[in-house]
Structure 1
Amino acid sequence: MTGTSKPARKRRTALLAASALIGGALGAGGMMQGTAVAAPACTVDYQVMNDWGSGFTASVTVTNNASSTLNNWRVEWDYATSGQKAGQAWNATVSQDGTHVTASAPSWNSTLAAGGSANFGFNGVHSGSNPKPTTFKLNGTTCNVDVEDPDIPDEPDDPDDPDNPQPGDRVDNPYAGAQVYVNPDWSEQAAESGGEAIADQPTAVWLDRISAIESGSAGENTMGLRDHLDAALEQGADVLQMVTYNLPGRDCAALASQGELGPDEIDRYKNEFIDPIAEIVGDPKYADLRIVNIVEIDSLPNLVTNVSGRPTATENCDEMLANGNYVKGVGYNLATLGQFDNVYNYIDIGHHGWLGWDDNFGASADLLFEAANAEGATPDDVAGFAANVANYGALKEPHFTINDSVNGTSVRQSKWVDWNRYVDEQSYAQAFRQEAVRAGFDSDVGVIIDTSRNGWGGPERPTAPAAKTTVDAFVDNSRVDRRVHTGNWCNQAGAGLGERPKAAPASGIDAYAWIKPPGESDGSSEDIPNDEGKRADEMCNPEYEGNVRNGNSMSGALPNAPVSGHWFQEQFEELLRNAYPPID
Structure 2
Amino acid sequence: MPPGPHPSRPPRQPHARLAVVALAAAVLLATLVLTLPSPAGTPAPADALGSGDALGPGDALHAADRDTELAVQPDGDVTLRSGGRVVWHTGTAGHAGARLVQRPEGRLEVVAADGDVLWSTGTDAPGARTVVEPGLLRTLDGAGEQVWAATTDGPALRTAPADRVPTGGLLLPGESVTSGDGRVRLTVGEDGTFTLTSADGLAWAAPPAPAGAHATVTADGDVRLVAPDGTVAWSTGTAVPGARLVVKDHGRAYLVGRDGDAVWSTPSPPAERAPTVVGLPLPDPLPRPDGADDPGALARPDDPARPDGAAPGERAFSTVLSAAPPYVDPSSAAARAARDARAEGRDEDAALLDKAAAHVSARWLGPADTAAGVRAYADAARAAGRTPVLVAYAIPDRDCGSHSAGGFPTTGEYTAWVDDVAAGLAGADAVVVVEPDALLHLERCGDRDARLAALRHSVDAFVDAGAEVYLDAASSNSFGWSADALRDMALRLRAAGVDRAAGFAVNTANFQRTEHEAAYGRYLSALLGGAAFVVDTSRNGNGPLAGEDGTQWCNPPGRALGTRPGATGTGPHVANLWVKTVGLSDGTCHGGPPAGRFWVEYTLGLAERADW
Q: TM-score, normalised by structure 1?
A: 0.46
Structure showing greater radius of gyration is 2
